[in-house]
Structure 1
Amino acid sequence: MRFSTQTLLLQLAVVALVALLSGAVHAWLTYDRLGREAENQALTLARTVASDPSVRAAVQSISALPGTPPASELLVGPLMAVAEGARARTGALFVVITDEAGLRLAHPDAERLGEKVSTDPSEALSGREVTTRNTGTLGPSAGAKVPVFAPGSATVVGEVSVGYSTETIGQSLARDIDPIALTAAGALLVGILASFLLRRRLQRLTLGLEPEEISTLVHDQVAVLQGVDDGVIGVSADGRISVFNAAARRLLGGPDLAGKPWAEAPVPARLLALTRADAAEGDAVELVAGGRVLVASARKALHGREDLGWVVMLRDRTELQQLTRQLDAVGTMSTALRAQRHEFANQLHTIAGFMSMGQHQQARDYLAGLAATGPLKFPVDQAELLQDPYLQAFLGAKGVEADERGVTLRLGPETLVRGRVTEPQEVTTVLGNLIDNAVNAAVAGAATERWVEVEILDEPGVGTGGAGAGTLHIVVGDSGDGLPAAAGTAADPDAVFAEGFTTSERPARAGAGQGLGLALARQLARRRGGDVRLLDPGSPGGPGAVFVATLPGTTSDSIRRDDNA
C-alpha cells in the first residue's frame, strides 16, 4: 500500500474516532444535563408538596396515631388526592408521601400504600433535602426527597419523594440526538474532505514519490552534487537557491548561498541573466569570477508540466585557456623555427664555401657574427634587456606572431628584468592578454608604422637572507587609434575591464573568451595584491591606449644577489 494511501486511511480513522468520541461525550453531557434538570424539577415539586399546610397537618395527624390507617382509607384520604393531583399536573413518575417511619401514605400504586418505601428515607427523615437517581418499584428515576415538618415546628413527621422516569429523559435525549448525530456526521465529512485535500497536496509537494524514493533521491543528490567538479546551482520556481554544491562555492569564490533569493545573490550579472524569462535556454556564456574563466549555461527543470525552476551549470575553463595560450606560444615558436630553417641552411652553406675557398678569416668573422646574434633572432627589439629565459621565450614567440601580422614588438628603454619569474602562468596570462589586445589594436589602427611597445621592470623584494619575492611592473602601449569615445573610458576608465567589453567589430566566436581578457587579468593581479589599470585611452590616429599592470610576488631577485656576491 502506498504511503499516501496509508496516510489517508490513518487520517480517516482518526477523524472518525474523534467524531465518534465527540458525539458520545456530547450525548453523555446532554443526558447528564437532562438528569440534573429532572432532579431540580423533582426537588421543586417535592418542596411545594412538603410545604403545603394541609399535607403537613395530615401527615402529623397520621403520625400521631398508634398505627397506620388501612390502605383503603389512605386511598381516599386527602394526602392521596394531593399527591396524585401534583403528579398528574407535572407528569412525574411518582409523588410519594410517607410518615416518620417511612411508610407510604400516598403512592401511585394503591397496593403499595402502607408499605415501607423501597429506597432509604433516612436522610430526608433526618431533616436534609437530597436528590437521587435510583431504581424503585416503578422503575429507574431521577428524583428528590424533602422532609415534611409539623405545622409551626421543626419536627420531621414524614417525607415527600418525587421522581421522574429516566425513560422520559431518554426520550428527550432521543429528540436531541438528531442534531448531535448531524454535527458528528458533518464533522466526519469535513475531516474526510480535508484528508483528501491534504493527500493531494502531499502528492503535489512530493511529486508523487514515496518516502523511500525521496530518501534514495536525497542520497543520490548528495553523492552526485558533491562528487562532480562542475558547479551546480538549483533555482526553485519561487526564485530561491535550492541547490548550491561545493564546486559552485569553489568556482564563484563565495559563501554557501543555499536558501537565498537568486535575484539578490552576489554572483556576476551575466550569470543572473541566464535565468531571465527572455533568456535563450541552453546558451553558454563565458564570464570571470573569483579569478577564473567560467562557462555557464542554464536549463529549465520540468517534472511533467510542472515548472521546478532552473538548473545552472558552471565549468572551469581557466586551466584550459592557460594550456591553450601555452600551446599557441609553442606553435608560434615552432613556426618561427620552420621559417628560419632555410636561413640555417644558407648560413652553413656560406661557412662551407668560405672554408673551401680558403677564406678562413671571413669564416671566423661570419661565425663571430652568428655567435653575437645567436642561432635564432626573434623580431623583438632590445630583447637583451631581459635576463629571465621565460620572458625571453614568451616575448620572442609573441614577437614572431606580431611580425606575421605586420606589427613590430619592441621593448621600451626603461625595461630591465634581472630577476627570475617565479609565477610564469599568471605573468603569461596578464602579459599575454595585454600584448594580444595591443597587437589587435595596432593592426586595426590607421598608423602606417604598426608597433607594440612593452616595458617590464622588476622591483626587488625584501626577504630572509636577502632573497625576497619581487614585484613585476608592466606597461604596454600600441600604435592603434586608442579606445573609442563611445566606450566611455574618459568618464570611467574601469569600463574596459567589464566582462564582455570589446572594441572588435567582428562577432565573438562561441567559447573564444572574447571580452574576458582584461577582466581576468585584473582579477588575477588584484588577487595577488596588485592591479591592472588604464593609464591612457589613446587618441585617433595614434598612439593608442596604454595599460599598466603590477604583479607583486611574481619574481625572485636571488640571481641578482648571487651575481653581486
Structure 2
Amino acid sequence: MRRSAPRPPLRFSTQTLLLQLGVVLLVVLLSAAVHAWLTYDRIGSEAENQALTLARTVASDASVRADVLAISEQAGTPPAAELAAGPVMAAAEAARTRTGALFVVITDETGLRLAHPDPARLGEKVSTDPSEALAGQEVTTRNTGTLGPSAGAKVPVYAPGTDTVVGEVSVGYSMETVGQSVQRDIGPVALTAAGALLAGGFASFLLRRRLQRLTLGLEPEEISTLVHDQVAVLQGVDDGVIGVSADGRISVFNPAAQRLLGQPDLAGSLWADAPVPAQLKSLTLPDAEEADAIELVAGGRVLVASARKALHRREDLGWVVMLRDRTELQHLTRQLDAVGTLSTALRAQRHEFANQLHTIAGFMSIGQHHQARDYLARLAATGPLKFPVDQAELLQDPYLQAFVGAKGVEADERGVTLRIGPETLVRGQVTEPQDVTTVLGNLIDNAVNAAVAGSSKDRWVELEVLDEPDDGGGTLHIVVADSGDGLGSETDPEVVFAEGFTTAAPGSSAPARAGGQGLGLALARQLARRRGGDVKVLEPGSIGGPGAVFMASLPNTTAGITPGTKAVGVTTARTDTAGAKDPAGEDNDA
C-alpha cells in the first residue's frame, strides 16, 4: 500500500493569518455575547424598577389600603368569587391592564391572594415568599411563578394612618418580553459583529501581506539561518562590505570596511551623508551601472572598490559595495620589480666581474702590484655593482643603493638617465623600507614618465636624499626633479595630489603599476602625512623643461644618525646639456 506524501506545513504568514482571524472571531463572539448579556440585564433591571414603581403606586392607593384592611379584619378570607368581584381585584386588574404588567397580585397579612390575574388562584397562598414585604421591606426579584419567569417587585401595604402592615402588592413583568426586546437588538448586534469580523479579517490579510514583504517571503527558520550566515561571513572576511538599502541608508558596514576606511560603524546612517570617499558614492548613483572595479586611496591604503545591484525576486534591495585592500600587493609588486631588476643587473654584470677578476689576476701575475692596488681602489670607490646611476656612491644606505640602482636600470631601459644630486647625504639606516619604497618609487616613476613624455632631447631624472636626526628617529627628505614639460601654468599644484589625476596621455607607454594611474602621488602624500610628514610641489616647471620638482618628508624612517648633526638645507639641482644646474621635475601619473 503506497503511503501518501506528508503535506507540507503551512507557511508562517498563513499560520499568522489564521491565528489572527481566530482571535478576531473569538473577540467578536465574546463582545457580542457580553453585549447581549448586558442588554438583557439592563432591560431586566428596567423591568424591576418599573415593577417597583407600579407596586408602590398601587400600595399607596388609599382605597386599596382601606379595602385590604377591611378584609384583614374579617374572621376569615372571603371566597374566591367574592374576591373576584371585589374592589381590590378591580384595582389590581386596572393597574395591570394599564401598564402591561404580567401580573399585579395583592395579598393580606398572611400572604393569601386577594387579587390575581387568574381568578382560580384567589384565596390561595402566593407561590413566592412574601415575608420580606410583610415585614415592611421593599424588594425586587427575578423568579419563576405560576405565570412564568418574571422580573418584579414586592411592596408592603400599610393600614390607613398607621405603620401596620396589612398586606403586600407584588407586581411582575414577563422575562419573555425582556427576551423579545433583546432579540430585537440582536440584528444590529449581529451586523456590528459581522462588520467587525470583516474589518479584522481584512486587516489581518493586509498585515500578512506586509509581513511577507518585510521578510521577503522567508520563514522564521530561514531568517535565523540567514542572520547566522551573515554574521559569520561579514565578520570572517577581510574584504570590506557595505550594504546600501533601496531608501539610501547604510544597512551593513562590516568590521573590515570600518578598518579599511578608518570609520566607525555607519550602519543606519544616510549613505549620501556618510564620510566616505566620493568615488564610492558615485558607484551607487541612481543612473550608475555595474561597472568595472575602481581604485582609490583611503586612509593611506590603495583600495579596489566595486558595486553590484542587490535583487531578490525582481525586488530592488539596493547596492552592495565591496572593498579589497591592494596596498600590500602594490608594495610587494614594487619590491618584486626592484628585485627582478637587480637580478637582471647582476646577470648582466656577471661577465664584467669576471673580466675585472681576470684583470687583477693579470696584474698580479706580471708583478704589477701597484696597478692592481689602484685598480682595486677605483672599484671600491664606485661600489661593488655598477648601476647606470650617476654619483650612486653618495648613497651609503644599502637599501637605498639597491632600490635606486634598480630604478636606474629601469630608467636606462627607457632612455632616461637617473642621477644622484650632489647635496645627497644619508648617514643613517632606513628603518621603514615599505613607506620609503612607496613614496620614493612613486616619485621616481612619475619623474621618469614625465621625462619620457617631455619635449627635451636630454632625458634625465635627478634625485637628492637627505636625512637629519629627530626625536625618536631620523627624518628622510627626498627631492625629485626631471627634464619633462612640467605641470603647466594653469594647473593648481594641489590638483596633482587628487585621486585619479594624471597627465599621462591615453595610450602612453608608461608601464602599468599595481596602484593604477592617478593614485601614486595621492598614496605617497597620505603615507607621508600619516607619519607626520608631507609631499608637495616645490616648482611646477615649464614646457620644454626643466619640469616640476617634488619634495617629500618622511619622519621616523631612519636610525643611527650621529646626534648633534643637522642638515644645512635641502636643495635641488638640474643639469642642462651644457652642465649648468637648474631645477627640474614633473609628475605625469599622480
Q: Same fold (TM over 0.5)?
A: yes
User: Which residue number corresponds to residue 20 of structure 2?
Assistant: 11
The equivalent position to 2:120 in structure 1, one of 111, 114, 118, is 111
Q: Confirm or deny: 8 A CA contact 2:532 2:554 kept in the other structure.
A: yes
Deviation, structure 1 residue 132: 1.2
Question: 1:142/1:179 Cα in 2 relative to 1: closer, same or farther (>3 Å)?
Answer: same
User: Which residue number corresponds to residue 418 of structure 1?
Assistant: 427
Q: Confirm or deny: 8 A CA contact 1:407 1:439 kept in the other structure.
A: yes
Letter in 2 for 1:317: R
1:2-37 Cα deviation digits (max 9, x unpaired):
322322222222111111111110010000011011
Letter in 1 for 2:485: D
User: Which residue number corresponds to residue 481 of structure 1?
Assistant: 485
Distance 1:287 1:421 in 2: 28
Question: 1:293/1:212 Cα in 2 relative to 1: closer, same or farther (>3 Å)?
Answer: same
Identity of aligned residues (%): 82
Question: 1:507/1:450 Cα in 2 relative to 1: closer, same or farther (>3 Å)?
Answer: closer
Q: Structure 2 length normalisation: TM-score?
A: 0.88
Letter in 2 for 1:403: D
The SS at the match of 1:263 is: coil
Deviation, structure 1 residue 274: 0.9
The equivalent position to 2:320 in structure 1, one of 311, 316, 321, is 311
Deviation, structure 1 residue 453: 2.0
Deviation, structure 1 residue 319: 1.0
User: Which residue number corresponds to residue 541 of structure 1?
Assistant: 544
Q: More displaced, 419-428 or 108-117?
A: 108-117
Q: Structure 1 length normalisation: TM-score?
A: 0.91
Q: Confirm or deny: 8 A CA contact 1:71 1:114 kept in the other structure.
A: yes
User: Which residue number corresponds to residue 470 of structure 1?
Assistant: 474
The equivalent position to 1:516 in structure 2, one of 509, 516, 519, is 519
Count residues in correspondence: 552
Distance 1:535 1:369 in 2: 37
User: Which residue number corresponds to residue 44 of structure 1?
Assistant: 53
Q: Confirm or deny: 8 A CA contact 1:302 1:309 kept in the other structure.
A: yes
1:202 and 2:202 aligned:
no
Distance 1:357 1:387 in 2: 35
1:452-482 Cα deviation digits (max 9, x unpaired):
22221111234xxxxx521111122222222
Q: Confirm or deny: 8 A CA contact 2:330 2:514 kept in the other structure.
A: no
Distance 1:139 1:533 in 2: 111
User: Which residue number corresponds to residue 239 of structure 1?
Assistant: 248
Letter in 1 for 2:482: D
User: Which residue number corresponds to residue 465 of structure 1?
Assistant: none
Deviation, structure 1 residue 352: 7.7
The SS at the match of 1:262 is: coil
Deviation, structure 1 residue 334: 3.2
Question: 1:555/1:519 Cα in 2 relative to 1: closer, same or farther (>3 Å)?
Answer: same
User: Which residue number corresponds to residue 558 of structure 2?
Assistant: 555
Distance 2:37 2:255 in 1: 63
- Residue pairs, 1:498-513, within 5 angstroms: 498-506=498-506, 513=516
Question: 1:112/1:522 Cα in 2 relative to 1: closer, same or farther (>3 Å)?
Answer: same
Distance 1:429 1:296 in 2: 21
Higher-helix-fraction structure: 1
Question: 1:85/1:459 Cα in 2 relative to 1: closer, same or farther (>3 Å)?
Answer: same
Q: More displaced, 479-488 or 130-139?
A: 479-488
1:528 and 2:537 aligned:
no
Q: More displaced, 278-287 or 540-549?
A: 540-549
Distance 2:380 2:533 in 1: 40
Deviation, structure 1 residue 51: 2.4
User: Which residue number corresponds to residue 258 of structure 1?
Assistant: 267
The equivalent position to 1:457 in structure 2, one of 457, 466, 478, is 466
Distance 1:461 1:354 in 2: 49
Q: More displaced, 148-157 or 10-19?
A: 148-157
User: Which residue number corresponds to residue 379 of structure 1?
Assistant: 388
User: Which residue number corresponds to residue 72 of structure 2?
Assistant: 63
Deviation, structure 1 residue 124: 2.2
Question: 1:511/1:355 Cα in 2 relative to 1: closer, same or farther (>3 Å)?
Answer: closer
Q: Confirm or deny: 8 A CA contact 2:473 2:557 kept in the other structure.
A: yes
Deviation, structure 1 residue 530: 1.8
User: Which residue number corresponds to residue 576 of structure 2?
Assistant: none
User: Which residue number corresponds to residue 276 of structure 2?
Assistant: 267
User: Which residue number corresponds to residue 334 of structure 1?
Assistant: 343
Letter in 1 for 2:109: E
Deviation, structure 1 residue 422: 0.6
Q: Confirm or deny: 8 A CA contact 2:290 2:307 kept in the other structure.
A: yes
Deviation, structure 1 residue 357: 8.7
User: Which residue number corresponds to residue 174 of structure 1?
Assistant: 183
- Residue pairs, 1:210-225, within 5 angstroms: 210-225=219-234
Q: Confirm or deny: 8 A CA contact 1:461 1:557 kept in the other structure.
A: no
Deviation, structure 1 residue 89: 2.2
Q: Confirm or deny: 8 A CA contact 2:296 2:303 kept in the other structure.
A: yes
Stretches of structure 1 that go unaligned for 5 or more consecutive residues are 463-467
Deviation, structure 1 residue 343: 4.7
Letter in 1 for 2:492: G
Q: More displaced, 31-40 or 358-367?
A: 358-367
Stretches of structure 2 that go unaligned for 5 or more consecutive residues are 1-8, 564-590
The SS at the match of 2:246 is: coil
Distance 1:117 1:450 in 2: 137
The SS at the match of 2:272 is: helix
Distance 1:179 1:54 in 2: 46
Letter in 1 for 2:505: E
Question: 1:511/1:104 Cα in 2 relative to 1: closer, same or farther (>3 Å)?
Answer: farther
Question: 1:332/1:27 Cα in 2 relative to 1: closer, same or farther (>3 Å)?
Answer: same
Question: 1:253/1:417 Cα in 2 relative to 1: closer, same or farther (>3 Å)?
Answer: same
User: Which residue number corresponds to residue 136 of structure 1?
Assistant: 145
1:33-67 Cα deviation digits (max 9, x unpaired):
11011111112221222222221221122222222
RMSD: 2.4
Deviation, structure 1 residue 330: 2.1
Q: More displaced, 534-543 or 128-137?
A: 534-543
The SS at the match of 1:96 is: strand
Q: Confirm or deny: 8 A CA contact 1:286 1:511 kept in the other structure.
A: no
Q: Confirm or deny: 8 A CA contact 2:427 2:560 kept in the other structure.
A: yes
Deviation, structure 1 residue 356: 9.0
Q: Confirm or deny: 8 A CA contact 1:38 1:143 kept in the other structure.
A: yes
1:368-392 Cα deviation digits (max 9, x unpaired):
5444434532222222222100001
Q: Confirm or deny: 8 A CA contact 2:330 2:515 kept in the other structure.
A: no
Q: Confirm or deny: 8 A CA contact 2:157 2:167 kept in the other structure.
A: yes
Distance 1:539 1:50 in 2: 128
Question: 1:232/1:330 Cα in 2 relative to 1: closer, same or farther (>3 Å)?
Answer: same
Question: 1:133/1:455 Cα in 2 relative to 1: closer, same or farther (>3 Å)?
Answer: same
Q: Confirm or deny: 8 A CA contact 2:329 2:514 kept in the other structure.
A: no
Q: More displaced, 224-233 or 345-354?
A: 345-354
Distance 2:513 2:496 in 1: 20
The equivalent position to 1:393 in structure 2, one of 402, 405, 408, is 402
Distance 2:480 2:465 in 1: 9
Letter in 1 for 2:100: G
Q: Confirm or deny: 8 A CA contact 2:382 2:393 kept in the other structure.
A: no
User: Which residue number corresponds to residue 572 of structure 2?
Assistant: none
Letter in 2 for 1:482: G
The SS at the match of 2:544 is: coil
Deviation, structure 1 residue 88: 1.8
The SS at the match of 1:300 is: strand
Deviation, structure 1 residue 349: 7.1
1:230-286 Cα deviation digits (max 9, x unpaired):
111111112222222222122222211222222221111101111112222142000
Distance 1:194 1:335 in 2: 79
Letter in 2 for 1:386: L
The equivalent position to 1:407 in structure 2, one of 406, 416, 420, is 416
